[in-house]
Amino acid sequence: MERRKVDQLKPNPNNPRTIKTAKFRKLVNSVRNFSGMLEVRPLVITPEGIVLGGNMRLEACKEAGLKEVPVIVVDWSEDRQREFIIKDNLGYGEWDYDILANEWNVETLLDWGLDLWEHPEETEPKEKEVNEPCKCCGK
């Protein structure tokens, strides 16, 4: 791991992830309040300084006024880079909402950026009831 100046790093023009304004503000606050996280989760960059992992964190670091950030430099093929970009952003696990509700402070979790209202059962589309009569038989 090494450190690089923020202004020497380039966001990946092909980054398939975006961040909404409210979540970006939370990320900026997270970087300001706990910049040590960057030491254990550095940005992943190419030798040319293009960010493969941590594009949103890079933008948050800029907004937070950081001048340098920890990075890991990888020299991978383009195919391996593309694979990493997707796999780095996959969320394989699921939250145990009972544990979160009973053993964690909800306000703190929300402040940290956890979207508690995105419970899987609540985000799945619900079947609509169809009360219209059948067009062919009228029933």
Q: Write the DSSP assignment of the chain as a string of letters.
A: -EEEEGGG-B--TT------HHHHHHHHHHHHH-TTHHHHS-EEE-TT-BEEE-HHHHHHHHHHT-SEEEEEE----HHHHHHHHHHTT-------HHHHHHHS-HHHHHHTT--TT--HHHHSPPPPP--SPPTTT--
Query: What share of the chain has pLDDT > 90, as a percent?
Result: 57
Q: What is the architecture of the domain spanning 2-92?
A: Alpha-Beta Complex (3.90)
Whether residue 122 has pLDDT greater than 70: no
Greater confidence (121 vs 115) lies with: 115
- Considering the chain, what is the average pLDDT of its residues? 85
| pTM, 2 dp | 0.75
Q: Where are the domains of the chain?
A: 2-92, 93-123
Residues 54-81 have pLDDT tens digits of 999 999 999 999 999 999 999 999 999 9
Whether residue 98 has pLDDT greater than 70: yes
